[in-house]
Structures are given as C-alpha cells and as structure tokens.
Amino acid sequence: MSKTIFVLNGPNLNMLGKREPGIYGGKTLADIEADCQKAGADLGLIVDFRQSNHEGMLVDWLHEAGEKAAGVAFNAGAYTHTSVALHDAIRAISPLPVIEVHISNVHAREEFRHKSMIAPAAKGVICGFGPHSYILALHALKTLTQ
C-alpha cells in the first residue's frame, strides 16, 4: 500500500511566484504542488500538500501527520526561525520523520535566518535547491520509510 507524505508549507509561501522572485524563483506554490504530485506518483507515495499562514494550523497538521502519514516534508517559512511550538510538535510526533525544507539557502542570507528552531527536532534539513528542495525531501522520505 502507498504511504502518505504530508508536504506542509508555512507563512507567505502562498505568495510564491510574486514574492521576491530573485530569491524564490518564478514558480507558484501550485506549480510546486504539481511537481510534488508527479514525483510522489513516480516514487509510489501519496502526497498531501497544504499551506497555512497560521502557526496553530501547522501544529494541528503535524499532529494529524502523526496519525495518518509516514513522514513530513516541512517548509515552515519564517516560523522556522521563531517557533518553539513547531519544534515541540515535531518532537510530539517522534519518531515520524520530518524533513525541514527551504527553497533558498538560508545560511547564505540574513543572520536571523541561520538559526532554525525546527532543525534540532527534524530528521534532516534540505535547503538552497530552489523548488527542487521539495523533490529531494520526497526522495529522502521514500528511502527513510521503506
């Protein structure tokens, strides 16, 4: 039976395409979802792709992933750098593998983006490959959940 992977997206990622294209590229979140659905189908994974601008919604979805998913690819956006609640939610669903994902290379940007609250709770971190970061995370989750 195919495993379900949640792909969760945090604040402002609904603005991709219009938002700082020099940093994030020209793809919309719908384009990235389509790429994830295709990669998921190729890998034999069911992709449940969601976005919210609200921290509590992301906490609820992580809890739901703990019940329903085999793993999570998680771009928490700016909450990456601030959210103890998301750190705790990832720990609460342990050992479910959660991969932290970023489109941009956060380490090559402002210093406030160098710190991740998520990374210590995550299985691993993928950043800097543009939208392909999501596809790399799906491949990693396929291997981790085999």
Rounded-to-10 torsion of CA 116, 38, 29, 99:
-10
Please report how close the Cβ of residue 44 comes to ligand DQA at its closest, in angstroms: 26
Q: Tell me the closest approach of the beta carbon of residue 109 to ligand DQA, in angstroms.
A: 7
Structural tokens at position 94: 């342990």
Q: Which CB, 44 or 56, lies closer to ligand DQA?
A: 56
Is 102 assigned a catalytic role?
Answer: yes
Binding site for ligand DQA (CB under 6 A): 12, 75, 77-78, 80, 102-104, 106, 113
State the Cα–Cα distance between residues 50 and 26, nearest whole angstrom: 19
**Pick 65 or 76: Cβ nearer ligand DQA:** 76
**24 has catalytic annotation:** yes
Please state, in angstroms and as integers, the Cα–Cα distance from residue 105 to each residue in 24, 53, 56, following that order. Answer: 10, 21, 26
Give me the active site residues, please.
24, 102
